[in-house]
Amino acid sequence: MNTSRSCRLPARRFGVIGAAAVCGLLLLSAPVVQAADVVARVDGIDITTDDLKFAAADFAGELQRIPEAQHRRVLIDVLVDILVLARAAEREALHETERFERRLAFLRARALRNAYFKARIEGEVTEADMRALYDREIAKLAPQDEIKASHILLATKEEAEAVIAELAEGKDFAELAEEKSTDPTAQRNGGDLGYFGRGRMVKAFEDAAFALEPGKVSAPVESQFGWHVIRLDDRRRQKPPAFEEVRDQIGQAALQEKYIGRVEELKKTIKVEILDSGDAASGETGMQ
């Protein structure tokens, strides 16, 4: 056995068979590495700094629960454990079964799928693709009304009616909100709730606020929080989110669109036969 070969381990979980499958496959063509890249050696198999990077990507979720300063040591320990178990599996000939070969083929196909995705799909999503998708999605949005309102929250209907009377006498809404409202937010900003669309407030409050004309004050409105006195300050059409605000979501959607399109294109060049409708469960159903 060549002692300067490395074993790449892009395994998604700990597991004797899965680790042995990947290790056994990659040992056949592992490149010679420089000694400076080697961080550990198990039974003549080198674990390299590149292996640590692969493992860090695959175990990213687990690493989030560990202090960053400990990541390198933990990853080395994980890869050593995997190789130790892989060697034990080989000694017991666990790899010499049809089931193992099927799993090995699955892991290879999945790795190739991931490589193709990164090389041929992920990098092909352009700014123009994202802008075009954004424009299509924005065009589908029906314009929605949104309003800007202020409120004063009171404990009883009688208190709300008294506040409405004071407003009718010319008292300042913001000053009354700061003085009398039981809503701490209203106390700090004079009752201003800013702009909001439908579905953001409790129904009784929302219905009363949207029914007002700008500058008008509502009758007392009861909700589970108490009694509201609402003033409508402004009404406008809701602006769609700017491209930069939703850039990440648009990027993911464009990538998904590109992926689906490429898969459909490739299916036309390869014979695909679905022999199971998927209606009846059979065999193992756990995703790995």
Residue 245 is encoded by which pair of tokens?
């605000």
Q: What's the whole-number average pLDDT of the chain? A: 85
Alpha carbon distance 130, 138 (integer Å): 12
Higher pLDDT, 253 or 3: 253
DSSP reduced 3-state for 226 = strand
Higher pLDDT, 15 or 57: 57
Alpha carbon distance 60, 57 (integer Å): 5
Residue 256 is encoded by which pair of tokens?
């998904």
Give residue 22's pLDDT band: very low, low, confident or very high (50, 70, 90).
very low
- Each residue of 82-136: pLDDT tens digit? 999 999 999 999 999 999 999 999 999 999 999 999 999 998 899 999 999 999 9
DSSP reduced 3-state for 144 = coil
pLDDT value of position 188 = 82
Is this model's pTM higher than 0.75 or not? no
Nearest CA to 8 among 82, 119, 65?
Answer: 82
Which regions of the chain does DSSP assign to beta strands (E)? 38-42, 45-48, 145-154, 192-197, 221-223, 226-237
- Each residue of 204-227: pLDDT tens digit? 999 999 999 999 999 999 999 999
pLDDT value of position 241 = 87
Residue 125 is encoded by which pair of tokens?
């999503």
DSSP reduced 3-state for 231 = strand
Alpha carbon distance 221, 206 (integer Å): 10
Alpha carbon distance 165, 102 (integer Å): 80
Give residue 163's pLDDT band: very low, low, confident or very high (50, 70, 90).
very high
